[in-house]
Amino acid sequence: MRDVLATRLRRCRAEAGLTQGQVAIYCDITEKTYQNYELMTREPKLDILVRIAEYYQVSLDYLVGRTDRKEVCR
């Protein structure tokens, strides 16, 4: 699951055309912290993971690899 999360974080950010710094600012964390999430040297806490999913407009299940569907259930 850790590798999937790191891969999907990088993919979502690239698809959105964002920098790590931009995502970090939205999540109220440092850029280094976000870099560590993409490198999987640190795992995000749930509240940060929720913010990231909201920012990328994807589901938590997608980010952690439980599904390949990006859509958020509304």
| Alpha carbons 57 and 66: distance in angstroms, whole number | 16
- The yes-or-no verdict on residue 74 having pLDDT over 80 is no
Decide if 6 contacts 40 (C-beta within 8 A): yes
The reported pTM is 0.90
pLDDT band at 8 (very low <50, low <70, confident <90, very high): very high
Greatest Cα-to-Cα distance within the chain, rounded to the nearest angstrom: 32
pLDDT at 37: 97
Residue ranges per structural domain of the chain: 2-64
Q: Which two tokens stand for residue 24?
A: 């970090």
Q: Which CATH architecture has domain 2-64?
A: Orthogonal Bundle (1.10)
